[in-house]
Amino acid sequence: MLQENVILHAERITNWAKRSIGYDVQLTTSSGLGDLDSPTRRVVPIEAVLDSNLNDKILRIPTTAMHDEVSRIVHSWSGSLNKYGLQISTGPVVPFRALNLLSKNGKVPETHAPLLWMQNVTAMNIEWPRQDVTKQQYVAINDASQPILVPNKNYVLLRRFSAKEQEKRLTAAPYICEAFKTPFLGLENHLNYIHRPNGKLHREEAYGLATLLNSSLLDEYFRTSNGNTQVSATELRAMPLPSLEIITHLGKRILSEKIHLDGLDELISEVLNYDADFNMRLSGVANA
């Protein structure tokens, strides 16, 4: 079961946004049944828990000083997907509704398009077809399938679910359209994809965004607001991002220096200029 939920009990307060200014919140946490009698307590400003300025009210639970530092860094960024003309959408192929369009074999691009599932996407890498995946990895190209296919453009693909035992909640990979000679692409419903509807997501942007999303920094930030194993598009839309110049620079560095996964955090700490010691502690937490 991919379940790990926060159970929330709250009381509605009239005009809460104005009344909450200056209030503190006590956070009480425990690791399990063994320490319920001696939980960890900390007090934080309510602004660290709930930002009333956002349209989508996202609850954050910064349980450690590390979370405070992560939030300080991320909230210093003024960018976002929306500001950069980007959108995040959910893969439109729902398998049980398209059974007659899916197959385990096909001819790309003549009669079929590649169908990417969550299993085809790992951190910074897309593998299709995968021989160890028994799912149908082809979708027919015809009039019936047109509504569920996307144009073959550059994207950033993200898994919408993660297993509890995975080191990180966020798993993203750049998809570059030259990978497959096809006019269309199938994206299964357990994937999210970042795209620029009124333009092109450039190769360097795709690699830079995927690098950020696979970082220990954003993974730890995401965990303060996400209480389960589902990766919500709402939370990703609200997530602050550094400037587009920095994102593009990250992408250029990844492409030119062929940096591997274990070097992503070091690259980001260098480019974003935050403390190397903090980066080591952050990477240690993310990999624990």
Task: Give yes or no for residue 164 having a pLDDT over 90.
Answer: no
How does pLDDT run across 52-83, given as a tens digit for each residue? 666 666 677 777 778 888 888 998 999 999 99
**Distance set, CA 137 to CA 113, 256, 287 (Å):** 9, 31, 31
Omega before 174 within 30 of 0, i.e. cis: no
Burial 64-89 (b: 16+ CB within 10 A, else e): eebbebbbebbeeeebebeebebebe
Q: Which residue has the tokens 């009333």?
A: 52
Classify residue 14 by its DSSP letter: T
Task: Give yes or no for residue 2 having a pLDDT over 50.
Answer: no
- CA torsion angle 124 223 57 158 (round to 10): 20
How does pLDDT run across 18-27, given as a tens digit for each residue? 655 667 878 7
Task: Give yes or no for residue 239 having a pLDDT over 80.
Answer: yes
* Confidence at residue 35, expressed as pLDDT on a 0 to 100 scale: 79
The stretch 253-265 carries a mean pLDDT of 92
Q: How far apart are the first and last CA of the chain?
A: 21
Task: Give yes or no for residue 45 having a pLDDT over 50.
Answer: yes
Task: Give yes or no for residue 244 having a pLDDT over 80.
Answer: yes
Q: Who wins on pLDDT, 119 or 166?
A: 119
* Confidence at residue 52, expressed as pLDDT on a 0 to 100 scale: 64
Task: Give yes or no for residue 4 having a pLDDT over 60.
Answer: no
Burial 26-38 (b: 16+ CB within 10 A, else e): ebeeeeeeeeeee
Domains of the chain, residue spans: 16-74, 82-93+118-126+153-286
Alpha-carbon torsion 226, 232, 235, 239, what sign?
positive
Burial 255-268 (b: 16+ CB within 10 A, else e): eeeebeeeebbebb
Task: Give yes or no for residue 15 having a pLDDT over 90.
Answer: no
Per-residue confidence band for 9, with pLDDT thresholds at 50, 70 and 90: confident
Mean pLDDT of the chain: 86
Q: Indicate the pTM of the whole model.
A: 0.85
Per-residue confidence band for 274, with pLDDT thresholds at 50, 70 and 90: confident
